[in-house]
Amino acid sequence: MADDRDWLERKSAALRAVLDSMPDVRLTQHALTWDPDTRLLHCDFRIEALDGAAPNAETRCLEAACRLLETAASGQMTFIRAPAEAKSDTDFETGTKSARGWVRFATSPVEGPWQQAERSTGVIYGSFGR
């Protein structure tokens, strides 16, 4: 469908703009999968702070994950698979600090509420795909 294609292109551009506006984080892993049968865009984002030792690195990763979710899901029916989260780690062998964030969800061009993923909707909490 042309409308779905336009929607996907707009969402993709909006997600790129979120990351471009946050130069202190980068996308380390992502998956965007369109399911034309259910009209759901399955999204899985992993974010990393460029300077894991910065005092606000974990907060910036969480902010990036939240902004990606809000941008993709704004006003759309969305199923949350894994809520936006972030954490900091230290490699005790090297002393290197890192901060990462992540979020996983499925969203649709159909307007509607956000909801917890559940088997009856065909979207399982914590899973990717159906």
pLDDT of 62 reads 94
Kindly tell me if the per-residue pLDDT of 1 is higher than 80: no
pLDDT of 130 reads 35
Nearest C-alpha neighbor of 123 from the set 100, 102, 107, 103: 107
Q: What is the pTM (predicted TM-score) of this model?
A: 0.82
pLDDT of 77 reads 86
Kindly tell me if the per-residue pLDDT of 88 is higher than 50: yes
Rounded to whole angstroms, how far apart are CA atoms 95 and 100? 16
Kindly tell me if the per-residue pLDDT of 122 is higher than 80: no
Kindly tell me if the per-residue pLDDT of 101 is higher than 80: yes
Domains in the chain, ordered, with CATH?
Answer: 2-121 (3.30.70)
pLDDT digits (tens, 9 = 90+) for 12-26: 889 889 989 999 999
Number of helices followed by number of strands (H, E) in the chain? 2, 5
Q: Is residue 130 classed as helix, strand or coil in its secondary structure?
A: coil
Find the distance separating the first CA and the last CA of the chain, reported in whole Å. Answer: 21
